[in-house]
A and B are shown apart, each in its own frame.
Chain A
Amino acid sequence: MTTTYITASGAPSADIADVDWAEKRYLIVDDFVGIRQLLRESLRNIGAKHIDQASSGGEAMTLLLRTHYDVVLCDFNLGEGKNGQQVLEEARVRNLMIPSSVWLMVSAEKSVESVMGAAEHQPDAYVIKPITEGVLLTRLNRVWHKKQVFREIDAAYIEKDYLRAAKLCDAQVAQHKVHEIDLMRLKASLLLKAGEPDKARTVYERLLEEREYNWARTGLGRIRLANGDHEAARQMFQGVIAENRFYIDAYDQLAGALTLLGRHEDACGVLEKAAKLSPNSVPRQRSLGNTALRLGNIPLAEHAFRKCIAIGEYSIARTVDAYLGMARVCGMKGDIKEALRLLAAAQRDFPGDVVQLRSKITEGLVYHESGDFRRARKSGDELEALLQRESKRPQTATCIEMATLLFAVGVKDAPVELLCHVIRNNHDNPVLVEEVQKIFDKARMGDEGMEYIAGARREANEIMNKGVLLWKTGKLEEAVEWMRDARVRLPDNMRILFNSAQMLINHMQLHGYDEALMVEANGVLMHVDELAAGQQRFAQLVEQLQMLIPGRAETPEAIDAEIDALRGVAEAPAA
């Protein structure tokens, strides 16, 4: 249907019928007073009455802490201090925005830096200056409608019920053609999170038949990477960059592929390029620093860690890794004093046992690498004492780092115990088993190490088999109890955790819903997700768990019906 408007004012006005923009609370954040006045004028023209203003990121945070705003118009460049992206990240992390509130990121120009926020902290829309009322109202209405379409999906996502969220995407596409691409993009990433890469690939391939979307091509590369086809993945990321030199995500992925191919020099070069294009990402500078450190490129590592600390200063994504890495750099440059100062700063600014432990390990490495073997040994002894006092063991990577240091400074029993712990908790991970064997070899304990590893694997297998046997022979109560104990002894063993959750779910499937068991199973699964995200079995178990909740729809058709019912409540039927 073609419409012709011939008017002096010349515009079909945006539909404002279903959203009351007048009564909402607005916050304008811009360091330029003239722009704030213009934006306030535009908001008043669409009827807004409650408008607050902030001239800096800090001021914005103060206001955000005090008031829940429905709409935030935030400039990206805010002069000194936080930039708009950092304000948004902090507001999101500290839960200062309610799910229905709208964040519009405003910038004078559309540049790579201004539109490349952290994936999980994207604003609802980007708007380029000058902002006119027509653009403002159109974008606000669009965001509002989109939020309605994505609301159910977001809720399922927060519950980590990725498979249900993916089904909801399909249900919404039928009714909201305008959001089809976004829904399909989200669906593919949900399927990836749920450990269903083949299904995600089908979605990406269908989208690519239509248009060359960078993110779809990159998504395909990511799937190849996860399947272990590192070279094919490398070529795909390279292809995306050849087509669009500013698609930053492809650089980060390419660096990951090169690292897995053992091409560390090339990976470092790619990260360096990406960091030049978009320097304000804490994780990217951290990766660059770590890669450079590994290659022994001290000046580059120093530059990256310094930048990482500088941008992290105002960012919620601030990381202790940069401080620890920088301390290593100082140690290698022979500046022990500065290294120790950084370690002290790390412990002061990032309180917690984990950081204290990692600082102690780094301190030992700094002494060891600078040739002060006496002090390195002292650090080692302190760590050993700490391990004796504390029965809980840190994450796998920290355990391995600690064992490496302890062997290097001549401690023997403590690192063996640590490595056995690592193997017990990862008994069916051949890559890790190989890595641990190499550490034993380097400590001239190759044969003993092999025996330790075999013993630890046997132990884990026995515990597992006993639990499964109880379950298979119908002694479900005993099996659940046995796995509870197993989780205490092997807290990070993925297969024990999965089987344990499976048995808890099975218990509820047979004997009915039980609040305590639900909480327990959920806790086990959340721990798995923390250890390693994106496991297919995780997604399947979460889905099974969600279905046990009384009153939850089960099939796609049922989900459709549920959505229709919700819509029926929200909208009165047409007369």
Chain B
Amino acid sequence: MKNSISVLGGTLENLLDHGKPADQGDPAYPQMAHMLYQTRRLSDNLMQLLALYKEVGKPTYPFEPNTVPVRELVQQVAGQARVLLESKQIVLELEFDGDLLWTFDEDLVIGVLAHAVNNAVRYTRDRIRLTIAERDGMLELAVADNGTGFPPSMLEAGTLVGQGVNFLTNSSGLGLFFASEVARMHKRRQAVGAIRLENGGPLGGGRFVLTLP
């Protein structure tokens, strides 16, 4: 299944990427862009499920943090989002310290950020900003948009995550639950990672924040 979705997503991306500018007037173009968005969602959710629940109730993920240059993290997240954003004419703004190194499980963090960007595509008008900076000894990674902000139910889900909320009852719950699990796996001395959702970020819309120790 994972292979099939990969092929579907990859093919759509190639079609959109190599499409001539004239194609963008074609009514099929935005439909294809939307298909790519949906495929990404499907792929992310499946990856999250596989990572969390490969065997029922038994996470079998080999967690291994490594030192990663923040610049390379940004390259990979932005690279994954490029075609989708271009096809939807959304601008991605990046703000980060190009010399910063941090220790985390790279695949997991890319997964969380890529999903957050994909999610922001749904809420934004035309801009998304990825900000990564060190704050009080923690790495703060935030994805903000200029949409109308998260609906109250999602903000609530954001605060309830990790407190035993039944994430499967909420459509956005799986992604949040996955993100909070990823955050909590990261520990350093006494500090533990966390996530939060806010409204009224730098672009005036919603803001997803992942902090890593």
> Which of B54, B62, B74, B189 is packed against the most chain A CB atoms within 10 Å?
B62
> Is A142 on the interface with B (CB-CB < 8 A)?
yes
Assembled-state Cα–Cα distance A35/B8 (Å) = 10
Q: Tell whether, in the assembled complex, residue A4 and residue B78 are in contact, meaning their CB atoms are under 8 Å apart.
A: no
Q: Tell whether, in the assembled complex, residue A12 and residue B80 are in contact, meaning their CB atoms are under 8 Å apart.
A: no
Task: From known contacts A108-B2, A112-B62, A211-B187, infer whether A38 and B96 are also in contact, taking CB-CB under 8 Å.
Answer: no
Task: From known contacts A109-B2, A112-B62, infer whether A12 and B94 are also in contact, taking CB-CB under 8 Å.
Answer: yes
> Is A175 on the interface with B (CB-CB < 8 A)?
no
CB-CB contacts of A36-55 with B at 8 A, as 1s and 0s? 00100100000000000000
Residue A1 contacts which of B54, B66, B67, B97 (CB distance < 8 angstroms)?
A: B97
CB-CB contacts of B76-89 with A at 8 A, as 1s and 0s? 10111110011001
Q: Tell whether, in the assembled complex, residue A111 and residue B62 are in contact, meaning their CB atoms are under 8 Å apart.
A: yes
Assembled-state Cα–Cα distance A221/B103 (Å) = 24
> Is A246 on the interface with B (CB-CB < 8 A)?
yes
Q: Contacts of B65 on A, CB cut-off 8 Å?
A: 211, 213
CB-CB contacts of A129-162 with B at 8 A, as 1s and 0s? 1101111011000100000000000000000000
CB-CB contacts of A388-422 with B at 8 A, as 1s and 0s? 00000000000000000000000000000000000
Assembled-state Cα–Cα distance A112/B89 (Å) = 39
Quick check: which of A177-185, A358-366, A376-384 contacts chain B, the rest being far away? A177-185
Assembled-state Cα–Cα distance A561/B184 (Å) = 44
> Is B51 on the interface with A (CB-CB < 8 A)?
yes
List the A residue with the shortest CB-CB distance to B97: A2
CB contacts under 8 Å to B, within A158-214, are: 177-182, 210-214
CB-CB contacts of A1-23 with B at 8 A, as 1s and 0s? 11111111111111000000000
Assembled-state Cα–Cα distance A6/B92 (Å) = 6
Q: Tell whether, in the assembled complex, residue B63 and residue A134 are in contact, meaning their CB atoms are under 8 Å apart.
A: no
> Is A118 on the interface with B (CB-CB < 8 A)?
no
Please give the distance in Å from B157's CB to the nearest CB on chain A.
25
> Is B50 on the interface with A (CB-CB < 8 A)?
yes
> Is A244 on the interface with B (CB-CB < 8 A)?
yes
Q: Tell whether, in the assembled complex, residue A14 and residue B9 are in contact, meaning their CB atoms are under 8 Å apart.
A: no
Task: From known contacts A12-B75, A134-B80, infer whether A115 and B6 are also in contact, taking CB-CB under 8 Å.
Answer: no
Q: Tell whether, in the assembled complex, residue A128 and residue B94 are in contact, meaning their CB atoms are under 8 Å apart.
A: no
Please give the distance in Å from B198's CB to the nearest CB on chain A.
21
Assembled-state Cα–Cα distance A7/B89 (Å) = 11
> Is B60 on the interface with A (CB-CB < 8 A)?
yes
Q: Contacts of B47 on A, CB cut-off 8 Å?
A: 109, 128
Assembled-state Cα–Cα distance A14/B50 (Å) = 29
Q: Contacts of A135 on B, CB cut-off 8 Å?
A: 76, 79-80, 110
Q: Contacts of A137 on B, CB cut-off 8 Å?
A: 75, 79
Q: Tell whether, in the assembled complex, residue B62 and residue A7 are in contact, meaning their CB atoms are under 8 Å apart.
A: no
Assembled-state Cα–Cα distance A133/B14 (Å) = 11
> Is A32 on the interface with B (CB-CB < 8 A)?
yes
Q: Tell whether, in the assembled complex, residue A13 and residue B75 are in contact, meaning their CB atoms are under 8 Å apart.
A: yes
Assembled-state Cα–Cα distance A132/B110 (Å) = 12
Q: Contacts of A116 on B, CB cut-off 8 Å?
A: 62
Assembled-state Cα–Cα distance A214/B66 (Å) = 12
Q: Tell whether, in the assembled complex, residue A130 and residue B43 are in contact, meaning their CB atoms are under 8 Å apart.
A: yes
> Is B122 on the interface with A (CB-CB < 8 A)?
no
> Which of A129, A178, A214 is packed against the most chain B CB atoms within 10 Å?
A129
Interface extent on B, as a size class?
A: 35 or more
> Is B69 on the interface with A (CB-CB < 8 A)?
yes
> Is A34 on the interface with B (CB-CB < 8 A)?
yes
Task: From known contacts A2-B133, A128-B47, A134-B79, infer whether A108 and B6 are also in contact, taking CB-CB under 8 Å.
Answer: yes
Please give the distance in Å from A29's CB to the nearest CB on chain B.
14
Q: Contacts of B85 on A, CB cut-off 8 Å?
A: 8, 10
Q: Tell whether, in the assembled complex, residue B107 and residue A9 are in contact, meaning their CB atoms are under 8 Å apart.
A: no
> Is A110 on the interface with B (CB-CB < 8 A)?
yes
Q: Tell whether, in the assembled complex, residue B7 and residue A109 are in contact, meaning their CB atoms are under 8 Å apart.
A: no
> Is B171 on the interface with A (CB-CB < 8 A)?
no
Q: Tell whether, in the assembled complex, residue B91 and residue A8 are in contact, meaning their CB atoms are under 8 Å apart.
A: yes
Q: Tell whether, in the assembled complex, residue A111 and residue B6 are in contact, meaning their CB atoms are under 8 Å apart.
A: no
> Is B98 on the interface with A (CB-CB < 8 A)?
yes
List the B residue with the shortest CB-CB distance to A179: B67
Task: From known contacts A4-B93, A41-B10, A109-B2, infer whether A177 and B82 are also in contact, taking CB-CB under 8 Å.
Answer: no
> Is B3 on the interface with A (CB-CB < 8 A)?
yes
Q: Tell whether, in the assembled complex, residue A8 and residue B86 are in contact, meaning their CB atoms are under 8 Å apart.
A: yes
Task: From known contacts A1-B98, A2-B96, A110-B107, infer whether A12 and B78 are also in contact, taking CB-CB under 8 Å.
Answer: yes
Assembled-state Cα–Cα distance A142/B75 (Å) = 12
Assembled-state Cα–Cα distance A12/B132 (Å) = 14
Q: Contacts of B6 on A, CB cut-off 8 Å?
A: 34-35, 38, 108, 129-130
List the B residue with the shortest CB-CB distance to A211: B188
Q: Contacts of B51 on A, CB cut-off 8 Å?
A: 109-110
Assembled-state Cα–Cα distance A181/B106 (Å) = 15
CB contacts under 8 Å to A, within B26-50, are: 43, 47, 50
Q: Contacts of B79 on A, CB cut-off 8 Å?
A: 11, 132-135, 137-138
Assembled-state Cα–Cα distance A324/B95 (Å) = 62
Q: Contacts of B187 on A, CB cut-off 8 Å?
A: 211-212
CB-CB contacts of A110-122 with B at 8 A, as 1s and 0s? 1110011000000
Assembled-state Cα–Cα distance A439/B84 (Å) = 74
Assembled-state Cα–Cα distance A6/B86 (Å) = 13
> Is B23 on the interface with A (CB-CB < 8 A)?
no
Q: Contacts of A180 on B, CB cut-off 8 Å?
A: 67
List the B residue with the shortest CB-CB distance to A141: B72
Q: Contacts of B133 on A, CB cut-off 8 Å?
A: 2
Q: Tell whether, in the assembled complex, residue B98 and residue A178 are in contact, meaning their CB atoms are under 8 Å apart.
A: no
Assembled-state Cα–Cα distance A231/B91 (Å) = 59
Residue B75 contacts which of A134, A178, A181 (CB distance < 8 angstroms)?
A: A134
Assembled-state Cα–Cα distance A110/B3 (Å) = 14
> Is B101 on the interface with A (CB-CB < 8 A)?
yes
Q: Contacts of A5 on B, CB cut-off 8 Å?
A: 93-95
Task: From known contacts A38-B6, A108-B3, A178-B69, infer whether A11 and B82 are also in contact, taking CB-CB under 8 Å.
Answer: yes
Assembled-state Cα–Cα distance A211/B187 (Å) = 7
Please give the distance in Å from A308's CB to the nearest CB on chain B.
23
Assembled-state Cα–Cα distance A246/B59 (Å) = 9
Task: From known contacts A1-B99, A3-B96, infer whether A178 and B67 are also in contact, taking CB-CB under 8 Å.
Answer: yes
Extra contacts, 20 of them, besides A34-B10, A108-B3, A138-B79 (Cβ < 8 A), are A2-B96, A4-B93, A4-B94, A9-B82, A11-B94, A14-B75, A35-B6, A38-B7, A38-B14, A109-B50, A110-B62, A111-B50, A115-B62, A126-B107, A130-B10, A132-B79, A134-B80, A137-B75, A138-B75, A178-B69
**Complex A-B: 8 CB contacts under 8 Å:** A2-B96, A4-B94, A10-B82, A10-B91, A11-B94, A34-B4, A130-B10, A180-B67
- What are the 8 A-B residue pairs with the smallest beta carbon separation, nearest first? A134-B79, A10-B92, A11-B78, A34-B7, A108-B2, A38-B10, A130-B6, A5-B94
